[in-house]
Chain A
Amino acid sequence: MSATAKAVGAALPRAEVREKVEGRAQYIADLYRPGMLHGAVLGSPHAHARIKSYDIREALAVPGVHAVLTGDDFGDHRMGAFIKDEHAIAKGKVRYVGEPVAAVAAETEAAAKLAARLVSVEYEELPAILSPEAALAPDAAIIHEDVASYFKVFDTGSTANVCSRTSLTEGDAAAWDRCDVIVEGRFATQPQAHVSLEPCGALAEPDATGRVTLWSANQSVFRVQANVSESLGLPMAQLRCLTPRVGAGFGNKMEPHIQPIAVKLALATGRPVKLILTREEDFEIVRARHPFKLRVRTGALKDGTLVAREVEVLLDGGAYADDSPGVLGYSLFMSPGPYRFQYRKASGTLVYTNKLRFGAFRGFGNPQVSFAGEQQIDEIAARLGLDPLAVREKSMLRPGDKWFGGAEVGSNGLEECIARVKAASGWAKRAELEPSAPGRKRAMAAACTAHISGLLATGAIVRMLEDGSIVLNTGAVDIGQGSDTALTQICAEALMVPIERVRLASPDTDGSPYNWGTTASRVTYTTGRAVVAAALEVEKQIKQHASEMLECDAADLELRPGGRVGIVGVPDKAVSFFEVSARAHWARGGPIIGHNSLVFERPSVDPKRAIAVGLPFPQIGAFAFGALVVDIEIDETTGKIEVKRAWSAADVGRAINPLAVEGQLEGAFVQGMGLALNEEMVWDGPRLANPTLMDYKVPTALDSPHEIHSIIVEAPEPDGPFGAKGVGEIGINVVPAAIANAAAIALGKRFNALPLTPERVLRAMLGK
């Protein structure tokens, strides 16, 4: 890249793409260490049972076994993002089928798996709670008897099987009386599996002093460090957490999976231990998207002006809280959608059940509430005979408006998003769309969304090496979404150096500044801000040196492309970063290091405007906006829905790397299609019935349309890095809602449950 070409905004290839296309990229399962043992776990056969006793003699007798660990070998330490309710391994009680009960380290994987099976455990079965309703029944068995004593990071209101409850209210309920049309409905969404193509895994290696180096498939080396240290009762400093390449996460790897057990096995054997889950264990043990039950009401005036929205949700949280309180809170916070309402109320309850923990998954509750809310806006438009997008344009949030609860909204490009998808899709002439063959129905529909990017803390360290090249260290894990590339571009742009002169250090809890994690679409925005600020400190130090070298005032200096600094207006009066850095290292001032730390501080709720109870995040993030149009066909013989074309616009503030932004919008759309049309985790009583890729199917290249038009809208965010906001999740939020809206137009039937399988659609068509 020439010295003058811009880094930010350039559709550059991924920094690490070469090793990936040459098959040299190393993921957790590809790592080998000398003397490495293999780990395996035994899953609970019961959904809810007390553990009476263990007998590990048979397991220990298996040739090549080095350690067999059960709950008795783990202290009574608990971890958890919002509620510390989870041991590293089942201890005293099992709470879902498949929950790790015992763990083995052996010379070979086969020996470890055989030995794990031979650990015999005596259980006292308890009634299994398999639905939120059963959890709330007065006589229900209690899953976490001592929930009251757990440490909680916010006022969760936990009692009996209620894990947390949240409510947020703004405006005057009398607004309902002013409504000319009110639509109300009950909706249900299904559990979805992430199916990151790489199953979870970890490799832990102790050193002589008992300090453990832990590689693992993760979305945050710092959350791994925190969770492992909390669940094993180790000081954080005793753990050094690293990350190999990660084969996607989508939320599956944000909180812990098998890391605490791998570390305990390593400490027990004094040997490196590698534990890679099978695909089936990844389905059964880790986490999945929350199934929601919703009751939603929306009211509007005759002319389509939206007036009031009320949402009530019931969440199945599974056996452990994990990120669920955050998903509950966030889904309520986003439930009104990007519109002006005079009255908004959202309340919900999260309950424990004896299923695997439900946790973070791209969209974090937004797809679930949007499936209901965005259909009700279409229902209102249909009743009033209005264009569904016109109804949205009439009431959409405009620049300067606040979000539900009073949170500040920076830039707002929603209007342009809607205009761009309308134009690109030929929305005005959607009624003229013809089915591609007889026996098929065709329709076009739309939906709008907003999403935050932000949340919590991040840092950046920019170091200039002796030769003037730059090492950037942020601790942000690239799970495939392209943050390594984007952050490098931001740093190169800030210091006006060619991108090849900036290298990103791999996340390492020993050397990286803290980063909460790659989640909530936050890395480009929050970590990008820290990178810009850290680069600014480097710039100041460079100018200080240059002012002494060029004998001028630092204020008269400017950075120039290619790693130079010179006097404004005097082209030949300049020095190179190499000269400055050499001076700093060998003569004056010391090595040049810029550092910045920040936490997102804007409050999520203005107490003067809204009443919040049990909101799990006092601060939330910057707001991105999006609009989606889909063109679908329904096969009248079978009810099967095919998506032919889609236009997905997102206001991302500034596209740091347009290729990466398009990749997020296209990938999110197809993952959203899976959620909309066929993906569903199915339980057969207490056990998951389809924990394999033979039985749980995700869209293939033939099930997704080639015409997915991603449209980048740029309304610069005032404090975003070069104006950028996040884009990781927004592209999935309203895919189910838009497809359901199109199906409703094509068939004249409203769908209030996901997925929209051929069966569900044909039944609706035939009124069965």
Chain B
Amino acid sequence: MSVPGYHRPKSVEDAARLLAETDGARCLSGGATLVAMMNASLAEPKAIVSLAGIPELAGIAELANGGFRIGAMTRHAATAADARLAGTLAVLRDAARQIANPVVRNMGTIGGSIGFADPAADYPPALVAANAEVEIVNAAGRRRVAARDFFVDWYTTACGPGEFVTGVHLPPPRPGAGLYRKLARVSGDFAIASVALSAARDAAGVSVRIAVGGCGPRPIRADAADALLSAKFGDAAAAAAAGEALAAAADPVDDVRASAEYRRLVIPRLVAETVAHARAALEAR
């Protein structure tokens, strides 16, 4: 008895087929993004393929290698509450906790959020810092793309026509620290700028991944920054140099939240602060 144009397939393959065959069809996950655009008559889909009926897309499952697969339909609230995302993976939990507000975190999903790929959203830099991979499906099958390559441009991802995100793969959590520092005008707003950092510590030393959000068409990262921080994690000069490298790699714009110039100014300061907090967390253990 449902509405014409509304589909709720039971499997990923059915969903992929519907998307490929139906003209003007769009994926509906949590609705926080797509329905907001429909209300603004920015998006006028002729068909909706809801992913709510596909069991494998929900929930966070531990993988054989000790890593995790977060189904595309997993709501921010569930990701924010999952204690298994610890150590280096805590960066993702910290990010999920700071998305919008509790009510929207009950609706929004990780697949919907990263599919829309607003670079000021909280998951893109966090997934890069967590060294995650994004699982994509199309009519032909599934493939995985590293998060650092998944986010391509403003609101543009590696997903081609008819493709959609089915999940996120996280490497096994390594002992260490994971932090997401978000600067926004008010609580719940998109970031002016954000820093996502994971720091794995083992006998060999510290291995750091860092990414900056809100300051370019996609999450900003720099091999030099990762290298500098990993080599001398305790050193303030290294943190400053890493901050400068990331500011140089950034490509911020002026928008209603802040100016490009301010974003370049604040990136090194946020990086230095986040590194200091991560180091304190490591030393505390």
Contact = CB atoms under 8 A, between A and B. Distances in A.
A637 interface: yes
B256 A689 contact: yes
Contacts of A696: 256
Interface in A299-332: none
Interface in B249-273: 256, 258-259, 262, 265-266, 269-270, 272-273
A703 B259 contact: no
B186 A637 contact: no
Interface stretch (B3-11, B51-59, B187-195): B187-195
Contacts of B146: none
Of the candidates A696, A701, A757, the one having the most CB atoms from chain B within 10 angstroms of its own CB is A757
Nearest to B36: A694
B101 interface: yes
Given A637-B273, A638-B270, A766-B265, A700 B188 contact: yes
Given A758-B266, A766-B265, A640 B183 contact: yes
A406 interface: no
A471 interface: no
A682 interface: yes
Nearest to A439: B273
Nearest to A117: B41
A67 to B, nearest CB: 23
Contacts of B258: 757-759
A690 B185 CA distance: 14
Contacts of A678: 185-186
B256 A690 contact: yes
Given A638-B183, A702-B187, A682 B256 contact: yes
B266 A638 contact: yes
Q: Interface size class for chain A?
A: 20 to 34
B171 to A, nearest CB: 30
B101 A758 contact: no
A94 B92 CA distance: 50
Nearest to A768: B265
A699 interface: yes
A179 to B, nearest CB: 39
B163 to A, nearest CB: 27
A60 interface: no
Of the candidates B258, B265, B270, the one having the most CB atoms from chain A within 10 angstroms of its own CB is B265
A410 to B, nearest CB: 40
Interface in A720-768: 757-759, 762-763, 766, 768
A759 B187 contact: no
B256 to A, nearest CB: 4
A694 B36 CA distance: 10
Interface in A94-127: none
Given A678-B185, A758-B192, A700 B101 contact: yes
Contacts of B273: 439, 637
Interface string B73-95: 00000000000000000000000
Contacts of B187: 700-703
A16 B187 CA distance: 32
Contacts of B270: 637-638
Interface in B175-203: 183, 185-189, 192
Contacts of B192: 758
Contacts of A439: 273
B262 A758 contact: yes
Interface in B31-59: 36, 40
Of the candidates B101, B186, B269, the one having the most CB atoms from chain A within 10 angstroms of its own CB is B186
A762 B262 contact: yes
Contacts of B185: 678, 697, 757
Q: Is the interface of B mostly helix, strand, loop or mixed?
A: loop
A694 B269 CA distance: 27
A280 to B, nearest CB: 8
Given A439-B273, A700-B101, A759 B183 contact: no
Nearest to A640: B183
Given A758-B192, A762-B266, A766-B265, A703 B186 contact: yes
Given A698-B186, A700-B186, A638 B269 contact: yes
Contacts of B272: 637
A768 B188 CA distance: 29
A439 B280 CA distance: 15
A695 interface: yes
B269 A637 contact: yes
B257 to A, nearest CB: 8
Of the candidates A639, A640, A700, A759, the one having the most CB atoms from chain B within 10 angstroms of its own CB is A759
Contacts of A639: 266
A692 B265 CA distance: 27
Contacts of B183: 638, 640, 758
B256 A699 contact: no
Contact of B259 (A689, A690, A698, A759): A759
A638 B269 CA distance: 7
A696 B256 CA distance: 8
Contacts of B259: 759
A703 B186 CA distance: 6
B262 A697 contact: no
Contacts of A757: 185, 258
Nearest to A438: B276
Contacts of B101: 700
B277 to A, nearest CB: 10
A762 B262 CA distance: 9
A678 B187 CA distance: 12
Interface in A472-512: none
A16 B40 CA distance: 34
Nearest to A678: B185
A614 to B, nearest CB: 37
B194 to A, nearest CB: 11
A699 B262 CA distance: 22
Contacts of B256: 682, 689-690, 695-696
A171 B188 CA distance: 52
A638 B193 CA distance: 10
Contacts of B36: 694
Of the candidates B187, B258, B272, the one having the most CB atoms from chain A within 10 angstroms of its own CB is B187
A763 to B, nearest CB: 8
Contacts of A690: 256
B98 to A, nearest CB: 11
A147 B258 CA distance: 39
A702 B272 CA distance: 25
A760 to B, nearest CB: 9
Interface in B183-226: 183, 185-189, 192
A690 B187 CA distance: 18
Contacts of A768: 265
A661 B256 CA distance: 35
A699 B186 contact: yes
A439 B270 CA distance: 12
Contacts of A697: 185-186, 189
A688 to B, nearest CB: 10
Nearest to B187: A702
A675 B231 CA distance: 45
Interface in B9-39: 36
A299 to B, nearest CB: 36
Nearest to B189: A697
A699 B187 CA distance: 8
B39 to A, nearest CB: 9
Given A702-B187, A758-B266, 19 more contacts: A637-B270, A637-B272, A638-B269, A640-B183, A678-B186, A682-B256, A689-B256, A690-B256, A695-B256, A699-B186, A702-B186, A703-B186, A757-B258, A758-B192, A758-B258, A759-B262, A762-B266, A763-B262, A768-B265
15 contacts: A637-B266, A638-B183, A678-B185, A690-B256, A695-B256, A697-B186, A700-B101, A700-B188, A757-B185, A758-B266, A759-B258, A759-B259, A759-B262, A762-B265, A766-B265
A-B residue pairs, 7 tightest by C-beta: A702-B187, A759-B262, A690-B256, A697-B186, A695-B256, A637-B269, A637-B273
Interface of B: 36, 40, 101, 183, 185-189, 192, 256, 258-259, 262, 265-266, 269-270, 272-273
